[in-house]
Structure 1
Amino acid sequence: MRLPDLLSGAFARHTDRVALRCADQEWTYAALDRVTGALAARIGRECPAGRRVLVVGEHTAEAVVWALAALRSHAVYTPTNPGLPAERLAESARVAGAGLAVCFDDEGVAKAAAAGVPALDTRRIDLDEAGEQATPACDSPIAYSIFTSGSTGRPKLVDVGHGGLLNLCRSLRRLLDIRPGEEVLQFASLSFDASITEIVAALHAGATVAVPAREQHSWLGAVSRHLAEHGADLIMVPPSVYARLGDQAQRRVRKVQFAGEALGKAEFETAVRHSLVFNAYGPTEATVCFSMAAMTEFGATIGTPIDGFTALVRDPETGDLADSGVGELVIVGDGVALGYVGGDPDEQRRFSEVEGRRAYRTGDRVALDRAGLTYMGRVDEQIKRLGHRVNLAHVESALAVHLCVPVAMVQLGDELVLATTTARGGVDAVMARLRQLLPAWEVPDRVAVVPDFPLATSGKLDKGALGDLLSADTEAPAAAAGGTELRRVLDVVTEVLGAEVAPEGSIFDAGASSLAMMRIQVKLTEVYGQQAVEAAFDAMDYDFVPTDFLKHVRGEEVTREASATELAYRQATAELAELRAELPLLRRAAPAGPGLVLVTGASGFIGGHVLERLLAEGRRALVVSTGTAQRLRTAHAARFGRPSAELDEVEVIDYPELARRVEQGSGPAVDAVVHCGYEVNHLLPLDRHMNANARTTALVARAAAAFGARSFAFLSAASAGERFTDLSAEALAAVGDPYSRSKLVCEAYVETLATIGCQVASYRAGLVYGHGPADTAFLRQDWFSALLNLSARLRAMPRLDGLVPICDVQLVVDALLAGLHRAPARSQVVVHRTYGLDDLLATAGLTADDVVDITEWFDLARDSGADPRVLAATQAALGGRGWREARRETDRELLADLLALLGAATAVGV
């Protein structure tokens, strides 16, 4: 489907919905259809068919309207950054062979005239009065052309075809759950291809494109204020932009898709507290978006390919392609661009075909497996500055032409230096000229004049020797004082504060205020440009240190932090080594006869039933609890109708006391351990589980050794997986959520007891029910019982994936206590019955007509006033796939009993 047809279809489907909104102005789909059709005809009259039309504007609703008009015209839409220097814009127009420039102000018109391109001044056209005219047909194979983000010293234009756009729109609508009527923020400059997803994908889904009103100098400030006041259903922004948004703005975003640069842990952890989080990856050469991941915990994943794409990795030595492994990412599919305009032959060779499909070598190094893609950096020699790839050799080539002098770009640590043998007018004049010629991300940090360029024996420039020469030069007094660039920044700070600050000191330590920082930002914007300064201030997190500012302007790379899963695996490996060394030293002889049973989690639902069974069988128990002894005894007696005097004989200690007894070797003889004590919270991050649940389990394992236990039963979770394997980084990463991953770690801790002769059993139980009237308090935060109750009340059941595994509490207790009477089965899954969607419908009194998508169900539940904490737990629990194997080991109708207990009209946790 061609892009104009895609847009026309969207306009026809959503006629009366609001398509575009800015401040107090809005256009319905019908109105936007009429206006953009008329403006497309106007473009068609002034630009020859098939020629490129430059749209030199951004960040206004009018610019979006004209962009859509250009997309629907018989010209080729080519957005251009209005902030480019005039010479760079002229070069862009030359490469594009532009037939028309759509301009929004006097500066744009003047630049177009200087470039020799006819200008259409939009200020002379009233959008509201544009007459209805037929939209010209588009016969070009190019959907749009867009300049890359500055990886070379001269403009490089990408021609993007129509083939991948429908897949892009459909995939984003599905993956991001974009719904008719939702508001999608239009943040990106039109010159960045991210704007295509914000505008075209949103309109395809029937959403409203919301453009913040720009009433102040900073675009980012306008965006933050807009979100704080109005919120948004979806924003698509780089992590550095998100971090700069105000707290209230972040809180009012329902879904955030990160893209454009590596996602940092701090940005993810902030976003996941307020929003659904997605991480996307896609070069311009792959129709904006190639892969996406829905993220519930931090990691380096860039997800899996969207519809229409295939990922391959290329071996750097042999050039062979494979569907797994580590290497250069090769993108295959209809969404691969048609090629470059203005690129050299080496760059053009990045495009090829694989089995008859277009392919593109990205230059990005990735790890590819069944779980998806992990980004591992660049394979070439390009550097990254301000989120843009910069090829130093190409910048050198362009500058040598413009400056008419020999130049060389050298990176010295964090500093980018332009070396030259001649600086006409002085280095300050050269730096001023560079800012006119180059975008901010390509401007060097300083200019250095050298007597001559050192040459290698081959006669070529010896950059190693030149780097040594420039490094020696930095030891000169002027450089030691900070150089020209640092001096310029310090002068700005001094002018604002009225006092000097140390190059590495914070202005706030010198008594500056937030207002002073804003004034410094405005003044530095005049020197470095708005985009560069906003990115640097964002990276400094609302502080200002002169040397740090320059480092951020240089766009230095940030080393990827280890993921939470990687850190957990390292922690688990170290703990396992300690356990294997300590347990033989702690081990004492088992008691001669039936001894105590150590129980954890006795104040919980399952642990309470374990303790009650022990009391009924006349076994003595030592209970380890996080609560007080009196509270546990009182609650248990009331729950099970047992005389409180019978609980007085149960010894109750806390975990610090357990640790003390292990350390001092003063614990009682214990026959068996039943470990049920675990904080069941799918929303806790993995590090919290590791430092709480996992650490506690390691302590209980040490106690089992120190107290001579013959057997150890651990209550694990079926969500840890259906198969038992040794703990490994791969096995841990394959488990769906942090809670279940921590269960896997704890199983490994418990398993170490087998090396000293203790009989170990880990029971992976499904959802455990069989509550009595006194157990209803345990259901208040239970996600599945809440789902059933809400579904019955809302008359809507979410479409679940797979089966739901259920256990009867009494049968679970039988398994946990099996070691008291015989050798327990090792590492078994305990699922007594599974329920499919049909079973759940029947239980809740619903029919197939009441089944809705999961996202729709959550919308209904939120509107009903359900407890957000329960819904959050439900959403986390439904994030993985359901159980696959049907089981029926009991005929007890556990779910029917559950609803009967709760009462069909009583919603749990609402």
Structure 2
Amino acid sequence: MHLSDLLTDLFRRHQGRTALRTAGRTWTYGELGRLTRALADRIDRECPAGRRVLVAGEHTAEAVIWALAAMRSHAVHTPLNPGLPADRFEDFARAADAGLVVCFDRETLVRAEKAGVAALHTGDVGWPADPASADDTAGHAEPDAPRAAYSIFTSGSTGTPKLVDVGHGGLLNLCRSLRRLLDITPDDEVLHFASLSFDASVSEILGTLYAGATLVVPVWDQASWMGSVSRHIATHGCDLAMLSPSVYARLDEAARRRIRKVEFCGEALGVSQFHQAARYSRVFNAYGPTEATVCFSLTELTEFTPTIGTPIDGFRALVRDPGTGALTSGGTGELVIVGDGVALGYAGGNADENKAFGTVDGAPAYFTGDLVTVEEDGELSYVGRIDEQVKRLGHRVNLAHVESTLSHRLAREVVLVRSDDTILLATTAGGDDTEESLMGRIRSAVPPWEAPDRIVFVTELPLTAGGKPDRNALRERLAAPAAGPAPDAMELRHVLGVVTAVLGREIEPDMSIFDAGGSSLAMIQIQVKLSETYGEAAVEAAFAAMDYDFAPAAFLRHLSGEAVATGESAVETLLRRVESEREALRAELPLLRRDTRREASPRTGDGGPAVLLTGASGFIGGHVLDRLLSIGRAVLVVSTGDPDRVLAEHRTRFGRETADYRHVRAIDYGELEQWVERRRGPALDGVVHCGYQVNHLLPLDNQMSGSVGNTVLVVRAAAALGARSFVFLSAASAGESFVPLSTAALEAVGDPYSRSKLISEEYVNTLAALGCAVSHYRPGLVYGHRPEDHGHLKDDWFTGLLATAGRLRVMPRLDGHVPVCDVGVLAGTLLAGLEEGAGSRSAVVVHRTYALDELLRHAGLSETDVLAPAEWFERVRESEEVHPPLLAAMQAALSGPGWRTPHQEVDHDILGRLLGAAPPDGPVRAVPPVRAVEGTGTETGTDAETGAAHASPR
């Protein structure tokens, strides 16, 4: 069946269904049929029959409609990437012997004219005034209809573009197989992602229309098409997406959750990418060169295997022995594709190129150059390219095969690049791997002759327009000098020496210490050592400019003031990311929402609707759980560690009996995520989210992937399990004002931890639209430790400062007051937020403040023992009594103003109880409580506002 006839039949068969959708506009099959018929007639008036019509547009519904019109015309549809360089565009237009170029912008129109090809600008044509009058019954019954259904450029295995003429013979089998194997139903919405110049777009368009489904074209509303697609999926979801693994890896997590089925194509699927996708979607793996009508084999994977499936309808696979040339139906060798879907050949190709096409037993055949293994059951496994072999240590090595093996073994995307006689392995930075550790894993996975010579970490792997790793771009990037001025060699050697002394190994000048396996402790030690050379203020400013990350060369550029920001700031980029993810979350929550008002709470005993609690192994969360046990509430404890161990340690810590936990169930975040995805689990009354990694110096990326990511999951669980209230334990270091998240709000807080708390608050706020009461509490320093709790004071900067002052007999002068909270009172405040009718509230919590004179009396010191902070820290440093991380935390906490006024809401001395000291002489004047910032119109008289820099959270 000719392509035009196939489309005519589909438009008629599904007449009233929605065929195409983009923002604010839909077309039914009937409307699309009439519109494309009218546009096809216009193409036929402009382009001689049998000539190629270049459709130079993509990523819009308009481009899809014109592509369909070209398919229905008497010309040969030939899509072309409008973003090609001008000279390449002209070369491609001439190589195609085009009779017409359909242009979507004026620049392309000029290019067409320079190439000497007639052009049609879609803006000048517009939509036909009355497409209903178009004859939608015309097909391609003429005997002189072109043999090619479409032509498409492909880079082939050599990297030299070739124009492939694809016949009509395999199209119907392609459509039937996609509908059956991908389970495409008329109710499905299929994502249109691929560039029209990439033949995957043929699968997207024809596979969707054949099934009577809806093709959805996202609106390009961000700087990149990838970002726009990711945002669209996160907001609207999709039933089927056909993507390369490299493209899928660049989708936001929120987008991946909303894909029901994903077909991987275009490159080998790795084990890590499979498991990532299988968490949310049905996973399919497809293989097919352009020369075989897009898709040759396809399978659904329920567990990872290197299979690329079995041939689809109309194809069979043979294997050619590279040595003897013999063809067999099984074994390992060059894949030979046999069937009517084999392309007609390369247009204008020379005899050597077209040797890839032939016949086997009278049927069209294509010799792919791909090395595969065909099992007895017909399953195929992709091994690599025959022409991607190098001689190393006396062995012939197939780089594609090694690349596939290492991607599987290392569970990360890798690309092997040849640079003269050197083999480089490029992979994205991240995780705990260093170049040294990664090379060790590689050498244990492959023989010496297959191991790369060097590993290079990059921010991201560049992709071609088709979504495959772009080796040429990567090779150029690796050869280019590092951006920015080179630091002075002697200075660089000094900084590298400091880093080596701390990490115990050498790193590259542009490598982050976190990518090299360092920790926030290592960063603090590096900061302290560098301050001895360059001064505390200069080093602190450079670290802040690096957003609390550290790379030696970057440090020196910031230190010298040579680093210049370009484009949007890091904070602006972060805010844009948060806004996108927040909108996706806001769109998802109503879909997750479950009405649990009449449900029982299964598997949590008879303690009534459950309270979900995180952070039970922490200081504050442990006290909250103890309160919940005392009042007999059913509790669902969610932890990052071993759930059973969390409860056992809590039982020991609070001296409770096993029977006290009869209404408690503990799970980890992985199980909670499964409950959310499956829409099952116990009905929740409310959520108290205390679980958070307290580390003010951990880079924000780590905060976002860790604690912030867990917060988003807990928010989703609150919606899926029907919680009516959500209480979030934030931090006073996030600031005194509860204002909408903005660049100014993020810049107002200095450290990554505090920024992450602001971002988490923003995600929690999305629950308010569901009628869930949302409360944020930002406490100051929280104490009230019992002997069993003292382990939680190990890294506390304030008690460490007091202990150091007592030992050295000197106290630093503090600006303002130190705000403190009592854990028992705070736990009661958090649980009060769960009560019926409590409403929403946003408040900074301070129960008592301490001035310098009170702290001196607690430490047994007097006013004569007070030093300026810089002098005090110098003495502490000389004493070598304080661990560098704790010292850095003290410095950071004392760098800003304290609480401005005295404040007291409790009648006991919180610090006195903690330190075991007598209360200071003289009463402390009680101050009327300060009203909290309004959340949803609710006020409280028990919490106060603070902007104190000393109010570091616990």
Q: TM-score range by the shorter chain?
A: 0.3 to 0.5
TM-score by structure 2 length?
0.44
